[in-house]
Amino acid sequence: MNYAGIDVSHKELVIVVSVQGKAHKAKTFENTASGHKAIIQLLSKLKGESRACIEVTGVYHFDLAVALSRAEGIDVMVINPKASHNFAKVLMKRSKTDAVDAEILAVYCERMPFEAWQRPTDERIALRALARRIAALTKLKTQTKNQLHALKATEETPVLVLEYTEELINVVDKQIQAHRDSARQLIQQHDELAEAFALITGIKGIAVASAVQMLGELMILPKDMSAKQWVAYAGLDPRQFESGSSVTKKPRISKAGNKFVRRALYMPALVATCHKPHINDSRQRFKEDTGCMRGHAQTFTRHPWHAESQKRI
C-alpha cells in the first residue's frame, strides 16, 4: 500500500508519497485539471493500491478530491485541517512548509484510521456550485447597494456613477434569479433532491432561497451522519473555554465548520424566533445560560462594597 499526502493551495499542489514507510521527495503540480491528471498518473505508476490524504481547503480541494475518487486504484481521505495541525504537534514538527505539511498528511494517512471520502453525485455537485454562486452574487449585491447608499448621501457624485451602480445591481439581481431558477430545475429533475426540497420547504421560515442554499451544502454530505455531526459540520456546536477556577469565558458557537450553512440558517432562525414561541423560549434560555457569568459580574458591581470602593478611588 502506498500513502500520499497532498498539500493544497490556490495555485499549487505539493505531494509527498510514502512507500514502505519511506517518504519520497516532494513534487509540485498546478492546481488545475491537468495537474490533477498528473498526480493520478504518478500514483498509478506505483505498485499496488494508493491512498491519498488531503485537507479541507476552502473550495480548492474539492475538484482534486473528485478527480482522485474517480481514479482506479486510488482511495482518497479528506480531513479537517485541525486534525493534521494537532497531528503535526504530536510528531514534534518544528518547521512548516508545503513539503513538510504534505509529508505530515502522508504519515497521517498511513498511521490513522482511513475513512474514504464519499464522492457526491454529479447533480449534487452542480447544485452546490449553483448555491455558492448565488451566495457570492448576493454578497456582491449587498455590497453594491451599500455603496449606492453612500454615493447618494453626497450631492458631489456624478449622475453617471449613480446610473452605472444601479445598473450593476439590476444585472446582479437578474443573475441571482437565473441561477436560482436553474437550481430549481435541477432539483425537480432528480427525485432525491425534489423530496429533500419538499421536506425542507415544509418547515416554516424556510423558503426557496434558503432551501437552495442549504441543500447545496447538505446534500453532498454522507447519509449516515448523525445530528451532532451535522451541527459540528455547520460550526454551530458550542465552544467552552475554562481554565482552573478563575478563567471562564462566555460560551460561543465554534464556527469551525461550513460558513455557507450558517449563512443559510440565519434568516430562517430569525423568522422562527419571531413566529414560534417555543423556539423563542429556547433562545431566551440559551441567552440566560451563556450570560450567567456576565450576570454574576453585574451583581458584583451592584454590591455595596463595590460602590464604596468606587467612592474611595
Instruction: Break the chain into its structural domains and give their ranges.
Output: 2-111, 122-217
**Tens digits of residue pLDDT in 239-292:** 766 666 655 667 777 777 788 888 888 888 888 888 778 878 877 877 776 554
DSSP 2: E
- Give yes or no for a contact between 42 and 26, defined as CB atoms under 8 angstroms apart: no
For residues 266 and 75, which has the higher predicted lDDT (pLDDT)? Answer: 75
CA dist., res. 36 & res. 164, Å (int): 41
pTM check: above 0.75: no
How big is the chain, counted in residues? 313
Residues with Cβ within 8 Å of residue 284, at least 6 apart in sequence: none
- Give yes or no for a contact between 212 and 185, defined as CB atoms under 8 angstroms apart: no
- Give yes or no for a contact between 84 and 6, defined as CB atoms under 8 angstroms apart: no
> What is the end-to-end Cα distance of the chain in Å, rounded?
72
In which band, very low, low, confident or very high, does the pLDDT at 304 lie, cut at 50, 70 and 90?
Answer: very low
In which band, very low, low, confident or very high, does the pLDDT at 299 lie, cut at 50, 70 and 90?
Answer: very low
- Percent of the chain topping pLDDT 70: 88
Q: How far is CA 7 from CA 28, 45, 68, 75, in A?
A: 9, 20, 14, 16
In which band, very low, low, confident or very high, does the pLDDT at 76 lie, cut at 50, 70 and 90?
Answer: very high
Q: At the topology level of CATH, where does 122-217 sit?
A: Methane Monooxygenase Hydroxylase; Chain G, domain 1 (1.20.58)
**Tens digits of residue pLDDT in 144-173:** 999 999 999 999 999 999 999 999 999 999
Cβ neighbours around 221 below 10 Å, total: 16
**Tens digits of residue pLDDT in 24-36:** 999 999 999 999 9
As beta bridge partners, residue 221 has none
22-23/12-19 β-pairing: antiparallel
**Tens digits of residue pLDDT in 13-70:** 999 999 888 889 999 999 999 999 999 999 999 988 999 999 988 778 989 999 999 9
CA atoms within 13 A on the CB side of 25: 0
Topology agreement, domain 2-111 and domain 122-217: no
Average pLDDT of the chain is 85
Residue range 2-111 forms a domain whose CATH class is: alpha beta
Residues with Cβ within 8 Å of residue 1, at least 6 apart in sequence: 48, 49, 50, 51
Q: How far is CA 67 from CA 120, 169, 264, 283, 289, in A?
A: 12, 37, 28, 43, 46
Residues with Cβ within 8 Å of residue 118, at least 6 apart in sequence: 222
- Give yes or no for a contact between 63 and 40, defined as CB atoms under 8 angstroms apart: no
